[in-house]
């Protein structure tokens, strides 16, 4: 045998960069052949270009990734249609009811509006890489938010015609479907308000959205109020995002434990902490309510006595006699419990009444010990 032909033993191994290029090219070819869809192709490209081998070989840069995305777009252009992502979405009942005949599609506002290609957004290249590092439940949430957001008005109409939908204020369904934080005060107030939601119309593009005015007639002030509202909110969110039910259950248990660890007069701190956590999760698009380590700063701010919100609320305006915190808002009357034999369970700085003698009004002694009041009775 001649030694000129390369064998498996003396064949040079491909470099890491060549191996990455080979896998990326295979993803492009498989997408063009229809073996995989566009999302699968992008995921394959992201996996190759975000790994340690790509970083070592210098292939892990945004320019390389955008170049491969341009190749996928070129495949779409050659096909001459909009089947790039090959997604099949079942039309909702509301959408079907609006199309009485096949010819009506050309007259609808939806068909007149040009189709937007999200792949052309400035953040598209980094978004696919970022989603690979997210928790699978967060990815599912984002997918459903995009689905509902394609026609939010139609999603709400379909929801209103769904018999299995839970009882929930109509004004808050838009927040649920878009992943924003629900106003639990409005959910709680709905229990005591027999009237229907007040409406106002807001136009978004070619759509008119009828929304409820967010005014709560009754606020949550106790643990029991919060439990009722949270149960209603959990059912609504889990109805739109079924994969989040366990997350909502764990967060509810966490908050129950937090309420139990705080004295009842301090439950307002837990309520404010809950609002801050849900606001952060609803606006970040990458967190879950059970990512408790991401809320340590909020716990310090709203729960700890040295937190910015707590210290400001407790310190008041700095007025009051004797340097007592919050003295400006305390009643002028003497504390009856402090003057009794059992005494007051609160410290002088925390009691809403003054720890002074109820007989003469002086400090330092109680009514049974007052010599002035005894002299008056003799």
pLDDT greater than 80 at residue 202: no
Candidates 148, 146, 152, 282; CA nearest to 210 is: 152
Task: Return all residues near 33 (Cβ < 8 A) that are at least 6 apart.
Answer: none
Tens of pLDDT, residues 108-133: 444 456 677 777 777 776 776 777 78
> What is the average pLDDT across 96-109?
44
Assess contact for 261 and 214: CB atoms under 8 A. Answer: no
How big is the CA angle at 184 (ends 168 and 310), to the nearest 5 degrees?
175
Assess contact for 85 and 39: CB atoms under 8 A. Answer: yes
Tens of pLDDT, residues 228-267: 999 999 999 999 999 999 999 999 999 999 999 999 999 9
> What is the average pLDDT across 8-33?
72
> What is the average pLDDT across 356-360?
84
**CA–CA gap between residue 359 and residue 370 (Å, rounded):** 7
Tens of pLDDT, residues 291-315: 999 999 999 999 998 888 887 655 5
**CA–CA gap between residue 281 and residue 304 (Å, rounded):** 21
pLDDT greater than 60 at residue 172: yes
Q: Is 203 strand, coil or helix?
A: strand
- Mean pLDDT lowest among 134-138, 295-299, 316-320: 316-320
């Amino acid at each position: 045998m001649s030694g000129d032909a390369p064998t498996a033993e003396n064949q040079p191994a491909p470099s890491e960069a060549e191996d990455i290029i080979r896998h990326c090219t295979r993803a492009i070819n498989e997408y063009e052949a229809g073996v995989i869809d566009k999302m699968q192709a992008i995921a394959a490209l992201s996996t190759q270009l975000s790994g340690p081998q790509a970083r070592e070989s210098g292939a892990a840069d945004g320019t390389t990734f955008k170049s491969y995305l341009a190749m996928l777009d070129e495949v779409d252009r050659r096909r001459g249609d909009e089947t790039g992502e090959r997604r099949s979405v079942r039309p909702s009942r509301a959408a079907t009811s609006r199309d009485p005949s096949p010819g009506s599609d050309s007259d609808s506002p939806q068909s007149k509006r040009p189709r937007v290609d999200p792949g052309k957004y400035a953040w598209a290249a980094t978004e696919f890489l970022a989603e690979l590092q997210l928790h699978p439940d967060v990815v599912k949430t984002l997918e459903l938010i995009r689905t509902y957001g394609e026609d939010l008005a139609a999603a709400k109409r379909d929801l209103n015609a769904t018999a299995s939908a839970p009882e929930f204020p109509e004004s808050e369904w838009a927040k649920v479907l878009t992943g924003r934080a629900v106003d639990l005060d409005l959910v709680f107030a709905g229990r005591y308000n027999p009237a229907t939601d007040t409406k106002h119309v807001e136009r978004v593009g070619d759509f008119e959205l009828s929304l409820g005015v967010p005014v709560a007639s009754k606020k949550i002030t106790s643990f029991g109020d919060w439990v009722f509202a949270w149960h209603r909110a959990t059912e609504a969110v889990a109805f739109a995002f079924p994969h989040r039910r366990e997350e909502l259950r764990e967060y509810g248990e966490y908050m129950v434990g937090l309420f139990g660890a705080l004295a009842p007069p301090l439950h307002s701190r837990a309520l404010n902490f809950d609002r801050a956590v849900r606001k952060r999760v609803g606006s970040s698009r990458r967190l879950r309510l059970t990512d408790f380590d991401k809320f340590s700063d909020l716990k310090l701010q709203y729960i700890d006595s040295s937190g910015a919100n707590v210290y400001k609320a407790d310190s008041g305006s700095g007025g009051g006699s004797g340097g007592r915190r919050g003295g400006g808002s305390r009643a002028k009357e003497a504390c009856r419990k402090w003057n009794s034999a059992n005494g007051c369970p609160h410290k002088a700085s925390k009691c809403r009444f003054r720890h002074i003698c109820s007989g003469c009004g002086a400090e330092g002694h109680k009514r049974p010990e007052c010599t002035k009041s005894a002299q008056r009775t003799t």
